[in-house]
Amino acid sequence: MIIHWFRRDLRLSDNPALSAAALASGGHVLPVYILDPTLLNGLWASPARSAFLIAGLRALDAQLQHHGLRLIVRHGEPVATLLHLVAETGASAVTWNRDYSPYSRRRDQAIEAALHAAGCAVQHTHDVAICPPDQILTKNATPYSVYTPYARQWRTWLAHADLRPVAAPILQPCRDLPVSHAIPDLLAPHPLPPAGELAAQTILDEFTRTSLRTYATQRDLPAVPGTSRLSPYLRFGMIAVRQCLAVAQAHPGPGADTWIAELAWRDFYIQVLFHHPHVLRGAFKPQYDDLAWENDPDLFAAWCAGHTGYPMVDAAMRQLQQEGWMHNRARMIVASFLTKDLLIDWRWGERYFMQMLLDGDPAANNGGWQWAASTGTDAQPYFRIFNPTCQGQKFDPHGDYIRRYLPELAGVPNHKIHTPHLLSASEQMRAGVRIGHDYPAPLVDHAQRRERALGIYRR
């Protein structure tokens, strides 16, 4: 028997380590997932993401039952838990698909050493990204810190890479399962999308049929269903990122090409974290660790609650609260607002996003926040500061996104939906909203804060 340790690969199809385990054992695979308290209860613990994970485990267990198997779920420290399972089952080997975060790499090195010391073989394979993070280097054998040349080399690498899906695993029923295989219950703080591989496949099919062709032109419009919404499924490996690439390549055009570029961004941020783990503690460019953030806790609380008085910002933050997800354009807007209008350390926002997002991923989340704060690789130049009102007018011109998440502004006419504080008293009455009571006036003056931010960054 071989144990396959599921981690960020909660699927049966195109799962390299699982297929390798099935091939090596003649199908005698024990499927295991370990609920790691370091991840579940740490600084970035997320009730919503944990509930989505649990739902994904239940979906995976249902798939395995069709093969006469159950998913063995244990709660505990991974080294001790795996050693106990090996002793309990007599497994000859453990397989897993690699992860590349600093914690994952430290954990896996310790586990591999402990299993070898116990006489148990180990096999781990690449899966979580399209391109392994150590494959693409500059001519000086250093990692890329700018996306465009990285993406150029990434596409060259793709042309020669073998990304064909691995064969589906042939699994044998197991009658002697360890006694404990129950998946715990976990209440979600808000409604969740359906979890699991079958749900991910359905969403990918729908996106391919309806939105992939127009992705290049509609992906920045948060009121339009123009994105894939697959990020939570990619986060947990409920779908293989290679399959997403293959689908895009099979439907050539501007939409597919733009979506492939987004998959390249995902790989880019994974390799940044792989080569520069310090970015989880501070700025990629260390000089920006000295920025004189003001860090007003009341302003931060208003930002979290979606009570800033800037409708585009507030709608995005309410979407995050209600769905555990936020449109990518909206993520850029709220991150710029937090760092450059409210002058709050990007790490506060990074941590809050990780606590709220179903797709919260250390590499992508850190990369996005450092881009917005102008502290990271290939970052937005510090003097380019999003105007939250103009961003809303450009990307949600009729206020459909705003009205969806800010129902108190439902009656505001289009020409004032992005500036409701400019409504006269009679206009407020007709719109059914009182500024300062039903909806706040702007917390800060954007023009003044922009100049203040520029001064802080220049210094």
Domain ranges of the chain: 2-128, 132-163+198-275, 286-458
Residue 314's alpha-carbon distances to 98, 173, 231, 333, in angstroms, are 38, 51, 22, 10
Contact in structure between 44 and 355 (CB atoms under 8 Å):
yes
The CATH number that domain 286-458 falls under is 1.10.579.10
pLDDT, mean of residues 159-164:
94
Checking if the pLDDT of 33 tops 70, the result is: yes
Which of these is catalytic: 112, 328, 408, 427? 328
**CA–CA distances in Å: residue 87 to residues 30, 52, 171, 245:** 13, 31, 22, 40
Give me 411's structure tokens. 């009656």
User: Is 269 annotated to bind ligand?
Assistant: yes
* Residue 56 counted as an annotated binding residue: no
Of 123-132, 169-178, 331-340, the range with the lowest mean pLDDT is: 169-178
Q: CA 211 from chain center: how many Å?
A: 20
Question: How high is the pLDDT of residue 382?
Answer: 82
CATH architecture of the domain 2-128 equals 3-Layer(aba) Sandwich (3.40)
What number is the average pLDDT over the span 424-443? 98
Looking at the DSSP assignment, which residues form a beta bridge with residue 286?
Answer: none
Q: Residue 65, by phi and psi: left (phi above 0), alpha (psi -120 to 50) or beta?
A: alpha
Residue 180 reports pLDDT greater than 70: no
Q: Decide which of 1.20.1440.230, 1.20.1630.10, 3.90.245.10, 1.25.40.80 is the CATH code for 132-163+198-275.
A: 1.25.40.80
Q: Buried (b) or exposed (e) across 130-149, using 16+ Cβ within 10 A?
A: bbbbeebeeeeeebbbebee
**Residue carrying the six token digits 């993520």:** 331
**3 DSSP assignment:** E
Whether pLDDT at 71 is above 70: yes
CA distances from 363 to 89, 146, 340, 354, 429 (A): 35, 15, 22, 11, 47
Euclidean distance between CA atoms 285 and 374, whole angstroms: 9
What is the average pLDDT across 431-437? 98
- This prediction's pTM: 0.96
- CA nearest neighbour of 198 among 49, 6, 55: 55
Identify the weakest region by mean pLDDT among 119-123, 186-190, 329-333, 377-381. Answer: 377-381
From the candidates 5, 154, 265, 348, give the one annotated as an active-site residue: 265
pLDDT at residue 294 in the model: 97
Count of Cβ atoms closer than 10 Å to residue 451 Cβ: 12
Q: What is the pLDDT of residue 260?
A: 98
Highest mean pLDDT among 58-67, 171-180, 377-386: 58-67
Please give the Cα distance from 27 to 92 (Å, whole number). Answer: 13
- Flag whether 400 is marked binding: no
Is 360 within any annotated ligand binding site? yes
328 is catalytic: yes
Q: Given 5, 154, 325, 369, which residue is catalytic?
A: 369
pLDDT at position 248 = 98
Is 377 among the annotated ligand-binding positions? Answer: no
Q: Do the annotations mark residue 262 as ligand-binding?
A: yes
Active-site residue 262, yes or no? yes
Q: Which residue has the higher pLDDT, 379 or 370?
A: 370
Rounded to 10 degrees, the C-alpha dihedral 197/160/148/233 comes to 0
CB 240 within 8 Å of CB 204: no
Please report the pLDDT score of residue 338 as a whole number. Answer: 98
Tell me: is residue 267 an annotated ligand-binding position. yes
Q: Does the annotation place 264 within a ligand binding site?
A: yes
Q: Using a pLDDT cut of 70, give the percent of the chain over it.
A: 99
- The whole-number pLDDT of residue 190 equals 97
- Is 229 assigned to a binding site? yes
Residue 426 annotated as part of some ligand binding site:
no
Mean pLDDT of 386-405: 98
What average pLDDT does the chain have? 96
Q: In this predicted structure, what is the pLDDT of residue 405?
A: 98
pLDDT at residue 199 is higher than 90: yes
Q: Of these residues, 112, 157, 293, 427, which one is catalytic?
A: 293
Which among 5, 154, 325, 346 is annotated as catalytic?
Answer: 346
Catalytic residue of the set 206, 262, 408, 427: 262
- pLDDT reported for residue 181: 67
- Cα 360 versus chain centre, distance: 4
369 catalytic residue (yes or no): yes
Q: What is the pLDDT of residues 102-111, one digit of tens each?
A: 999 999 999 9
Answer with the residue of higher pLDDT: 383 or 147: 147
The percentage of the chain sitting over the pLDDT mark of 90, rounded to a whole number, equals 94
Note if 265 is an active site residue: yes
Q: What is the mean pLDDT of residues 166-191?
A: 85
Where does the pLDDT of residue 363 fall: very low under 50, low under 70, confident under 90, or very high at 90 and above?
very high
pLDDT at residue 384, rounded to an integer:
86
Q: pLDDT class for 132, splitting at 50, 70, 90?
A: very high
Assess whether pLDDT exceeds 70 at residue 179: no
Work out the average pLDDT over 176-196.
86
Q: How big is the chain by its Cα radius of gyration, in Å?
A: 24
Task: Dump pLDDT digits (tens) for 250-281.
Answer: 999 999 999 999 999 999 999 999 999 999 99
